[in-house]
Structure 1
Amino acid sequence: MYAILDIETTGGKYNEEGITEIAIYKFDGHEIVDQFISLVNPEREIQPFVVNLTGINSNMLKNAPKFYEVAKRIVEITEGCVIVAHNAQFDNRILTTEFRRLGFDFNKETLCTVELAKTLIPDLPSYSLGKLVRSLGIPVTDRHRASGDALATVKLFKLLLSKDVEKTIIKTFLRKHTQKQLEPKLVDIIAQTPSITGVYYIHNKDGNIIYIGKSKNIKKRINQHFTGTNRKSKKIQLQVATVTYDATGSELIALLKESHEIKKNKPIFNRGLRKNVFSHALYTTLDNNGYINLKIDVADGRKRPITTFSNKQSAKDFLHQATEKYSLCLKLTGLEKTLSSCFRYELKECDGACVNEENTKLYNNRVNEFISKYSYKDQDMIIIDKGRNVNERSAILIENGIFKGYGFYDLNYQLNNKDILKSIIIPMENNKHTQHIIQSYLRKNKRLKILKLDSELRK
C-alpha cells in the first residue's frame, strides 16, 4: 500500500517552513482507496513568491486546522504505507519536522517518483512534475495545489509501475512486508483478487515471482491454481505467499505482457512454457503464370510469413473464409489439389485464375488486399483497444512492421502527438511470438480500431 502525497509550504529558512496544504491519496497499486485533503494553518507568514505560485494566502488559512489537529488523520491514512512523492526527500522532511515539533517520531519508507522516472524513463529533458506529466500525456488540474499535484503523482506512479517490467518496486516492497504478515490462507488471497483482465504474479515469502500468468478473469484463474491437483498446482500452493496483478483491460496486452515478462523474470514454474506457440504459417509464392499463390506450411523461422497459426486446422479454416471474402481461387490458395479448374470455378464463384483465364493484375490485387489486412509487414500503425477503465484506451505501436510496445492514454488526449506517444510506450521485444500473438488477435477481433500513422507522427 502506498500513501502518495504532496505538501505546500510557507517557504522560508530550512526546517522553519510550515505546511499550508496537504493532500494524501492512499493507493493500492491500482486505485485510490482513501484520501485526505486539507488546508493547514501554519501559524507563520507565507513568503510572497509562494502566494504567487500557489494562490494560498494567510486569509485563506485563518480558520484552517492547525497541524496538531490533522496529525492523527495523517498517521491513520499512512499506517502500513510507503510514502510516495515527487521529490520525496523534501515532502518527507517537512512532514517529519512537523511531527517532531509535536514530540512524535514519524518514520516511513519513501519512494521518489523523480528518481523512479529517471530510471524507468531516461533521457527526458525535464523531470519537474509539470513538464514530466505533460510529456507523458497525464492530465493535471490545480497545478501547485496539493490535491492537483498529488493526484498527478498518483497517475505518474501508476505509469511507472507499468514500466517496471522486472517488478523491482513490487518485489522490494513485498520482501520487506510479506514476512511480517501471518501465513495467508489461499481462500483469503482469492478473495482479494479481482475478476478483471490482466496479468497476475504469484510470489513466495521472499517476494520473488514464482509464476506469471494472464487471464480475462484473474480471480477465476487464481482459484484454478489453488484448487488444482496436478503437480505444478500443488507446488504453487505450498510456496505462495501473495498474489499481485496488473490490470490491462485489453486481452492483447495481457498476452503480450505475459510473454514478455516471463522472459524477463524467468519464474521457476513457467519453465514449462510452450516454446512454440504456433506450428503453421501462411506463405506466398509466384507461379509461372504470374499469379500470387498462398500456401499453408509448417512454420519456418527462416521465412517471413503473412500470419501464423497454432495448428493446421485453424489455418485452413481461416484461409477458407478469406477465399470466400476476397473471391480467391481454391487451387491457388492450396486448399484444393487439382490439375484443372477448381470447384469454385464450376460454381462460377472463381473468375478462372486456376485455368489462367482471369487477369493476373486483378487477381493479385485482391490477394494483396488480403495480405495487407492480415499482415502488418512494413506498416506503421497503432492498434487501439480497451483500457483499464472507461476513461482510457490502450495503444499497441507498430513501426515499419516491427512491434515496439504498448501503453495507455487518457481519452482527454488524442494520439496525434509523437512525443507523448513515444513516452507512454512500454518497450517490448519484437519476435516471432509477439508477431503470432498480435496477428492471431487481429484475426479474431475484427472490430479493433487501427490507426495508420502518417509521416508527421512517425518522425
Structure 2
Amino acid sequence: MYAIVDIETTGSHADSNGITEIAIVLHNGKEIEGKFETLINPGYKIPRFVAALTGIQDYMVANAPPFSEVADKIYNLLKGRIFIAHNVNFDYSFIRHHFQQVGYDYHARKLCTVRLSRTAFPGLRKYGLDALCEQLNIMNGGRHRAGGDAEATATLFSMILNAGGEKLVKEYLKKESREQILPPNLPKEHVQWLPYQPGVYYFHDEKGKVIYVGKAKNIKQRVVSHFTGFDTGSKRQNFLKHIHAVTYKETPTEFAAYLLESIEIKRLWPQFNHSQKKFEWQYGIYEYTDMRGYLRLTIEKKRKHLHPLVCFSLKAEGYRILWKLVKDFNLDAGLCCLDTTAPSPAEEPAAYNLKVQQAIDWLQEQKETFLIKEEHRDATNCVLVEKGHFYGMGLIYNNADDLTLEQLKELLTPYPENEVIRSMISSFVYKHPNKVHKPLL
C-alpha cells in the first residue's frame, strides 16, 4: 500500500516555509485506488519566483484551509502506507515538520522515485521528473502543480513496477538498506565502496567541483552521518541538493586526516566549509626600533606582510608572554607597551637592546624541531616540525630514528602551513608527548 505525494511550497526548507498545495495518489501496487488534492494557505507570502514557477498566487490560497484544518484527513490517507515522492526527503521533511507543528507524530517508510528510476532505467540523461516524463513519454497535465506531478510520479512508479521493480522496491525497503537517506543526486555506488578507514572525503557538485572537504576516523560512517537526521534548515537542505559525487583519500592515522583536511580546505576553498576559512591567529608580538634607537616589543593585530616573533588568537595570551619576557629578561614595561606611565629607561639603547635580543633569541629557541611518530602497520606516519613550523608528513618504512633531518625531509611530502595546523600540532603534542621525538640533526 503506497501513498504517492507531491507538494508545492513557498521555499526549499520546511522550518520557515509553508505548503501551498498537496496531492496524494493512493496506489495498491497494481493500480491507483484514489486521489486527494487541495490548495493550502501556507501562512507565508508566496515569493514572486515561486508563483511564476507554480502558477499559485497569494489570492488563490487566501481562502484555502491552513494545514492544521486538513492535517487529520492527510494523516489518515498516509497512515499505514509507504510514502513515495520524487526526491522523497524534500516532501517528507515538509509533511513531517508540519504534522509536528499541529501535534501529530508521523513516521513512515519511504521510497524515492529518483533513486528507483536510476536503478530501473539506467543510462538516462537526467532523472528529474520533467526529464523522465520527456524520456519515458509520461503525460503530465500540470507541471509544477501538486496534482499533475503526483499523477506523473504515480505513472512513473507503475512503470518501475512493470520493469521488474517489485523486487527492487523490496530491496529498498529493507531496514538494512540505507540508500533512502542519500541525497537524490548522489549515486549509491559512491557511498557503497567507501572504506572504513581514516582519511579525507570530498563532496562534488554537478560539474565536479569540490564543495566540501571533511575529515574522518572512519570515512564511510562519517560520510553517511551527513545524510541522517531530520534537520529541515535551509543550510543543510541546500548543501545536500548540491552533492553529486563523493571521492576520498585514505590517511594512515586520524591525526594525519585532520592535517590533510586543513591543507585541502585552504587549497580548494570549498563553498560549504566555513569554520577553517575564518580561523586565523589574530595577534602577534612584533619588534621595531624607535626614534631614540631602543629595540621595542609590542602586541599588534597580525599584519599581512610582516612576520611576528610569535602569534596567538587571544590578546591576553600575548600579554602573558610579553610580561614573562619583561620579568625573565629585565625588560622595560614601558618600552614593551605594557605600562604607559613608566618613566624613560635609565639604560642606553645599546645595553638595553642586548637584553631585548636575548629575549627574542629565547622566543626563537622555543620553536623546536621535532618529529611526531605514529605507528601504522609496517610503517610509521611522521609529521615533521622544523623550527616551530610544520614542514610536511608521510609514511616512512625505515627506522625514522636512524634518519637525519635532511633525510627525513627528502622522504616526507612538504605542505603549506596554516594557523589551524599549528594549533592542531600544539594540541597533539600536549596530549601525546610520548609520540614526539627529536630527529638527528
| TM-score, length basis structure 2 | 0.42
Q: So what's the TM-score if we normalise by structure 1? A: 0.41
